[in-house]
């Protein structure tokens, strides 16, 4: 394995900004600018099975949902099979 030789792990399937927010959340239990990155962060939290972060993102998306963005939020929920978000009523 390359990681064993170099002591590095290359992660190419996630935006560096989102990965940094995940790391900060893991160490501090806080996320800055959550409303701005909630959708992208939710996808990453789902992928890496970070359930408490996923719940935080779901709550942020539900708070910020409106007629202008509800289609995108429901599509994201459908893609992630996220039933908590699918129950949004505007």
What is the residue-level pLDDT of the chain in tens, covering all 90 positions? 555 677 888 889 999 999 999 999 999 999 999 999 999 999 999 999 999 999 999 899 988 888 888 888 888 888 888 666 656 554
pLDDT at 75: 85
Measure CA of the first residue to CA of the last residue in the chain; give whole Å: 50
| Closest to 61 (Cα-Cα) out of 31, 36, 24 | 36
In this structure, what DSSP letter does residue 1 have? -
Percentage with pLDDT > 70 across the chain:
86
- Rounded-to-integer distance, Cα 75 and Cα 90, Å: 15
In this structure, what DSSP letter does residue 13 have? S
Tens of pLDDT, residue by residue over 68-78, are: 888 888 888 88
């Amino acid at each position: 394995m390359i990681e064993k030789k170099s002591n590095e792990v290359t992660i190419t399937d996630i935006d560096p900004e989102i990965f940094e927010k995940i790391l900060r959340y893991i160490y501090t239990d806080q996320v800055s600018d959550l409303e701005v990155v909630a959708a992208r962060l939710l996808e990453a939290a789902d992928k890496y099975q970070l359930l408490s972060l996923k719940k935080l993102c779901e709550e942020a998306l539900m708070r910020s949902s409106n007629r202008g963005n509800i289609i995108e939020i429901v599509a994201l929920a459908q893609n992630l099979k996220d039933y908590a978000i699918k129950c949004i009523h505007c």
